[in-house]
Structure 1
Amino acid sequence: MKKNTTPVYYGDYLHLDKILSAQELQSEKYATAAHEETLFIIVHQVYELWFKQMLHELNTVLDVFTQEAVEDHQLSTVVHRLNRVIKIQKLLNDQISVMETMTPQEFLSFRDYLVPASGFQSIQFKMLEIKLGLKTQYRIDFDKQSFYQRLEPKDREFLQNMETKNSLFEMVNDWLERLPLLDFEDFKFWHLYEKATQEMLQSDREIIQQNETLTDEEKHKELTELGKTEASFNAIFDEAGYHTLLQEGHFRLSQKALMSALFIHQYCEEPVFNLPFQFLTCLTEIDENLTLWRYRHAMMVQRMLGTKIGTGGSSGHDYLKKTTESNRIFKDFFNMSTFLLPKEVLPALPVNVKKNLGFSLSSV
């Protein structure tokens, strides 16, 4: 049954008069209207609408993690909404193929009328990056210098103020640190995990040394690589060593947060860890989709402009290509597989630990 007292008309509800009249062609102001400029405008307007929805979802996730405790039902909602963000990201990535129906010459028919406007001036996209955790200090040097320079003062001040607030990355780091997973009564996961890794790596060493099919040179090469793997494992057990790697930018998560995330990944099949695992997986997918979007955007710019500079004055494709791999947020979750052990060598969770953990991972 209807609940409204005033009839609603489709076009009025969606404000289609405003939306469908919001495509003003720059080319038409100076010469004959460029046919493809309408496509260019609509694609970018759709981007901004979806950015608005992504921010709408992300803000509710941030609200959950500002609380002292994150309950299971809240984490379920968080996973649901982040999955929606992921679906939107896939739409945005696919949308690039629509833009690529425009040829380079068709783009050039109106491109020079857009100077100095640039996608770098998308405030909503910068909001998404900052809220997720890509603040200025985590960008590569040339991006740090140019991140705010193309913005109007009011937009620059707004975003710089946003950078002073905790991002989702920072909140997740704190949440992982608070989870009661690593030290429970007589169960010391940290020590058991270290023992299991040492046994696994020693077994690998013996396999290499006893492999008669390998030459001395091949054995030396494989043992050298094994040594690098051992060094990676040793780093996460050594507080001082880990801190050094943290300062050098090899990790962003704190040591305790990384170990909690590792614990969740190792025992993801346990019901109590399923939702946290889904949540961390969502963050990984969001970062992956952002990287794919940057990559596809860089390829499209190279296809359209070659080595020409961007309308905003950047080096165009070269700039975008460099940010593709460097401007990552949840890279530690991608590298988690480095430290995963085979199921058969994992320390078994004691019955009392399973029982006492129950089905809640509230931060207490």
Structure 2
Amino acid sequence: MKKNVEPCYYGDYLQLDKVLGAQSLQSEKYGDAAHEEMLFIIVHQVYELWFKQVLHELNAVIDTFNQSSVKDQQLTSVVHRLHRVIQIQKLMNDQIAIMETMTPQQFLSFRDYLVPASGFQSIQFKRLEISLGLKRDYRIDFDKQSFYNRLSDKDRELLEALESKPSLFELVDKWLARMPLLKMDDFDFWEYYNAAATTMLAEDKNTIESNPQLSEEERRQELKDWQSTRENFDALFDDSHYTQLREKGKFRLTHDAMLSALFIKQYSEEPIFNLPFQLITALTDIDEQLTIWRYRHAMMVQRMLGTKIGTGGSSGHQYLKRTTESNRIFLDFFNMATFLLPKSALPELPEKVRKQLGFHLK
């Protein structure tokens, strides 16, 4: 093992003089210090430190996928790093409970001194969102219009440059699309799948039509929903139809990527799909934890401010509430459960299919 020549001391290594001296209370400039402002500052500084670590992990993952192929050893590291991101997200979500030990009146004792500062101005969080795949075109209208407002020219240029680079979503989409679609001489998975899906949907429709507990209005609504699901299934077998629905925002994954991801989830217990399945699951978890963070943040803001506007000029709770469901990234992985079939309805994979996948899943 390599060893250092000069001694390394705890405080110097962590630069604690800088870290512990970085809390400057705004309330002290106008009178007595507000006791809870120290908590407010430290919590947000800790968030920014964790954002930095998450970006460190995501950038490494993006670099791996930004290649023509991804080897199994690399995929192992990718999954490990994404799992670390998830644990950090859980910790950040739990940290909101610490903020909630502050009462609304305690927050009001220094809130007005913070105008126009806002968490909306966190450059690291914006970088995190863009890197994952939440670019400007996928944001809600208010967010899309004001995303770059109140930023310095330097920060605006940094984020706009990041918008032009491939996000993790885009790179994973291309990686999934490179998987073969499993049409071989004597095996066509999608032919089996289409027949099984048709049978399942017919049974679902019969259940709705024969259910005596449904009112006519409820039956009409459920049949309407069934028809929508039927159209989504049909789109899986029609590239042009799928593309039309994708342009309308029904899907975000490309057609080939959707089919590949669906196949991986259908046969997730196969050893060859273990790492790809873990990857899809990890990205789903990251999106879920991000949604939980937005939701808990929105609830905390409502608890602290009620219907007041935020210090940065946004609508506060209402704005955060709208972004909770709208600013999703890997929603297709959540909705994929719509297309999953029972294991009993799936065909056994031929041995030569497994062998072929071993060379093409890269």
Band of TM-score, shorter chain: over 0.9
Shift of 1:212: 8.5
Distance 1:54 1:275 in 2: 21
Shift of 1:227: 2.9
Alpha-carbon distance change, 18 to 225 in structure 1, aligned in 2, over 3 angstroms: closer
Shift of 1:200: 2.3
Distance 1:355 1:259 in 2: 19
Distance 2:238 2:47 in 1: 45
Distance 1:4 1:197 in 2: 63
Q: Is this contact kept in 1: 2:181–2:259, CA < 8 A?
A: no
In structure 2, the residue matched to 1:61 is 61
TM-score of the pair, normalised by structure 2:
0.95
Identity %: 67
Q: Is this contact kept in 2: 1:71–1:361, CA < 8 A?
A: no
User: What letter matches 1:180 in structure 2?
Assistant: P
Alpha-carbon distance change, 222 to 132 in structure 1, aligned in 2, over 3 angstroms: closer
Distance 2:213 2:264 in 1: 37
Distance 1:162 1:178 in 2: 25
User: What letter matches 2:62 in structure 1?
Assistant: L
In structure 2, the residue matched to 1:129 is 129
In structure 2, the residue matched to 1:320 is 320
1:228-259 per-position Cα deviation (integer Å, ceiling 9, x unaligned): 33222112222222111111111110111101
Alpha-carbon distance change, 107 to 230 in structure 1, aligned in 2, over 3 angstroms: same
Q: How does 1:94-243 map to 2 (within 5 A)?
A: 94-206=94-206, 211=210, 217=216, 223-243=223-243
Q: Is this contact kept in 1: 2:182–2:353, CA < 8 A?
A: no
In structure 2, the residue matched to 1:253 is 253
Shift of 1:202: 2.9
Q: Is this contact kept in 2: 1:284–1:333, CA < 8 A?
A: yes
User: What letter matches 2:279 in structure 1?
Assistant: F
Alpha-carbon distance change, 200 to 162 in structure 1, aligned in 2, over 3 angstroms: same
Tell me, which stretches of 5 or more residues in structure 1 are unaligned?
none
Q: Is this contact kept in 1: 2:208–2:223, CA < 8 A?
A: yes
Distance 1:45 1:216 in 2: 55
Alpha-carbon distance change, 212 to 295 in structure 1, aligned in 2, over 3 angstroms: closer
In structure 2, the residue matched to 1:79 is 79
Tell me, which stretches of 5 or more residues in structure 2 are unaligned?
none
1:313-343 per-position Cα deviation (integer Å, ceiling 9, x unaligned): 1111111100010000000000000000011
Shift of 1:41: 0.4
Alpha-carbon distance change, 361 to 94 in structure 1, aligned in 2, over 3 angstroms: farther
Q: Is this contact kept in 2: 1:196–1:347, CA < 8 A?
A: no
Alpha-carbon distance change, 130 to 222 in structure 1, aligned in 2, over 3 angstroms: closer
Alpha-carbon distance change, 100 to 207 in structure 1, aligned in 2, over 3 angstroms: closer
In structure 2, the residue matched to 1:331 is 331
Q: How does 1:24-63 map to 2 (within 5 A)?
A: 24-63=24-63
Alpha-carbon distance change, 21 to 137 in structure 1, aligned in 2, over 3 angstroms: same
3-state SS in 2 of match to 1:113: helix
Q: Is this contact kept in 2: 1:182–1:260, CA < 8 A?
A: no
Distance 1:206 1:116 in 2: 58
Shift of 1:2: 6.5
Shift of 1:181: 4.2
Point out the more displaced range, 172-181 or 92-101. 172-181
3-state SS in 2 of match to 1:60: helix
Q: Is this contact kept in 2: 1:37–1:110, CA < 8 A?
A: yes
Alpha-carbon distance change, 73 to 184 in structure 1, aligned in 2, over 3 angstroms: farther
Distance 2:204 2:56 in 1: 49
User: What letter matches 2:147 in structure 1?
Assistant: F
Point out the more displaced range, 216-225 or 56-65. 216-225
User: What letter matches 2:256 in structure 1?
Assistant: K
Shift of 1:351: 2.0
Alpha-carbon distance change, 323 to 216 in structure 1, aligned in 2, over 3 angstroms: closer
In structure 2, the residue matched to 1:70 is 70
Shift of 1:346: 1.1
Q: Is this contact kept in 2: 1:136–1:144, CA < 8 A?
A: yes
In structure 1, the residue matched to 2:266 is 266
Distance 2:211 2:137 in 1: 50
Q: Is this contact kept in 2: 1:79–1:279, CA < 8 A?
A: yes
Distance 2:215 2:147 in 1: 52
For the aligned residues, what is the CA RMSD? 1.9
Distance 2:40 2:211 in 1: 63
In structure 2, the residue matched to 1:286 is 286
User: What letter matches 1:94 in structure 2?
Assistant: D
Distance 1:278 1:287 in 2: 14
User: What letter matches 1:304 in structure 2?
Assistant: M
Q: Is this contact kept in 2: 1:120–1:150, CA < 8 A?
A: no
